[in-house]
Amino acid sequence: MEFVLKHDSLRDMREVEHCLGTLSPHGDRPLQLVMHMLTQVVERHPELTTLHIGADEVYLLGEGEESRRWLLGSPGRSVEQLFLSHVTAVARAVKTTWPHLTVLMWDDMMRDMSQDTLRDSGLVGLVQPMLWDYNPDLDVNKTVSLLEKYSGAGLVDVWAASSFKGSTCVHTCVPSSQRHVDNTLRWLTVAGSVSPAVHLKGIALTGWQRYDHLSVLCELLPVSLPSLASCLQTLLDGQFDAETRSTISSKLGVSSVEVEAMERISKDSALFPGRFLAEIIVDLNSFLNSEEVRYFEHNMFLRGWLSPYQRQRKTANPLIMMQIQNQAAAFLTELQQKVERVRAEMSRLYPQSTAQEWEEEHVWPVRAPLQTAMEHITNCLKGTLPGRTLQTF
């Protein structure tokens, strides 16, 4: 919805002006828009058997003017009813148009609803809820209780969703396989703890591209493949022991399931698509996150000999300035070499726009203080050492 509702031509269909992710459910146009979008998806996937209609995190539903009027139009009306009526209409339209499709939807907006509300919603027999929880410390008992509630309301066919990339932090560059495996193991514990009345159909491994349509890129796929392989093998084996790790390492041709620690154990680069990009991203990320580079502007020499006071008055010690300049220049040179390697390889696998965005998000914030320090040093040394050749980047 964010992708669609960001456009000015459709902004009147937002629930509230400042939220791109929530569709106003009133009138015929919203359902027509959703069905138009879903038709495009179905036509692009002719062998499709299952369709996910989303419907999560519509936290501002009920706050639009039309929704407020609807809520006040009859006693007892609630945001829950507003949500359920729209989702039911979408699910019915899907089943009418494509009777063979199984319809999935996210469950979070229904978590606090009573069994009676869910049972009377019209969703029973139309949709299968998918529960998402990406926490490595997922609360097993609470999740089992939620599944039992859905089953008791008649929604007996349910799904789970974990993740193999994304979900850790919005700007994470390199994923932790162990974190995502821990979440997968928790879901396996949930699967083994529910009653026979709950039909857990499967676990979806989501791979986030962004937290939302306008947020920054999450971890790229090549650097996340060890995490994906780890989660998949964990689901197959039902555990994550030494044998599982060995299987993953052998299939990927690397020494560790953690992309930051992996080393090649095979010369066959085809075993791990994008492996070279993963390796040089890890190398660059390690350099970018080293304290002496990332916090260069906070080191003792800059704070003691190139403070704002000293920069303004150009009262800098030339010897210290030259030491700082040499260090900053060395960092910038090494950074430039690493970035050029990543840029060249990334451009082979991604559109130029993706490579550019990744570089601006991850490299530029670290490079900027180094460049700024070089500029200040140049200004301070111009009067003190007029004959010195000054480096620029």
pLDDT tens per residue, range 44-65: 999 999 999 999 999 999 999 9
**Alpha helices, DSSP H, located in 153-265:** 177-191, 221-237, 242-252
pLDDT tens, position by position, 82-101? 999 999 999 999 999 999 99
Sorting pLDDT into bands at 50, 70 and 90, what band is 267?
low
Does 21 score more than 80 pLDDT? yes
Q: Yes or no: say if 282 and 301 are a contact pair by the CB < 8 Å rule.
A: no
pLDDT above 70 as % of the chain: 95
**Is 316 inside any structural domain?**
yes
Residue 46 maps to a domain: no
> Does residue 168 lie in a domain region?
no
Which of 243, 244, 246 has its CA nearest to residue 231? 244
Which pLDDT value is given to residue 60? 96
Residue 79 lies in a domain: no
Q: Is residue 360 part of a domain?
A: yes
Start-end of H helices in 20-139: 29-44, 65-72, 79-97, 115-119
| Least trusted range by pLDDT, from 8-22, 152-166, 374-388 | 374-388
| 355 assigned to some structural domain | yes
Average pLDDT over residues 295-303: 78
Question: DSSP string of 315-370?
Answer: ---HHHHHHHHHHHHHHHHHHHHHHHHHHHHHHHHS-HHHHHHHHHHHTHHHHHHH
Share of the chain above pLDDT 90, in %: 78
What whole-number distance in Å separates Cα of residue 25 and Cα of residue 41? 21
Reported confidence tier of residue 36, pLDDT bands at 50, 70, 90:
very high
What are φ and ψ of residue 134, in 5° steps? -110, 10
Can 57 be counted among the known catalytic residues? yes
Please give the DSSP secondary-structure letter assigned to residue 27.
S
Mean pLDDT of 153-165: 98
Q: Any idea which of 118-132, 227-241, 247-261, 377-391 has the lowest mean pLDDT?
A: 377-391
pTM > 0.75: yes
Instruction: With a cut of 90, say whether residue 378 has pLDDT above it.
Output: no
Residue 268 predicted with pLDDT over 70? no
Q: Is residue 370 part of a domain?
A: yes
Q: What range does the domain containing 322 cover?
A: 290-384
Q: How many domains does the chain have?
A: 1
Residue holding tokens 């514990």? 189
pLDDT band at 242 (very low <50, low <70, confident <90, very high): very high
Look at residue 320 in the predicted model and tell me its pLDDT: 83
| Residue 363 falls inside a structural domain | yes
Catalytic residue among 2, 15, 17, 57: 57
